Amino acid sequence: MSHCSVCGHERNQGEIQCPECGHFYSKIAEIIAEQEAQEEMQTFRGRCKRILNSGDIKSGLLDELKQMQEELTPKGLFALFVIFVFVFALVASVL
């Protein structure tokens, strides 16, 4: 049985992170976890989580909207445009 190099907590096989102090046992695991966290931040779920965790939902929501506006690229605008056209076509075909 090996132990965490930071706090000495018992390390179970297969674990990539110390449950006691949060230390990652390998650099690769740390990088992957960081990337996952970053990816999640870009998703809708991540945004919702951050808004809920911010305590003040209203100001959290405003912050996210502001950030989304800054992140809006031509590609993102094009995607919105495609969605808009699709919805419009759908509505037009029903009427």
User: How many residues in the shown chain lie near Zn ion by CB under 5 A?
Assistant: 8
**How distant, in Å, are the alpha carbons of 8, 47, 66, 73 from that of 23?**
11, 25, 33, 36
Handedness of CA 22, 26, 27, 31 (dihedral sign): negative
CA angle 75, 78, 84 (to 5 degrees): 145
Stretch that binds Zn ion, among 2-10, 30-38, 48-56, 78-86 (CB under 5 A): 2-10
Question: Of the candidates 9, 17, 50, 61, which one interacts with Zn ion according to CB under 5 A?
Answer: 9
| CB 7 to Zn ion: min, Å | 3
| CB 31 to Zn ion: min, Å | 18
Of 22-41, binders to Zn ion (CB under 5 A) are 23
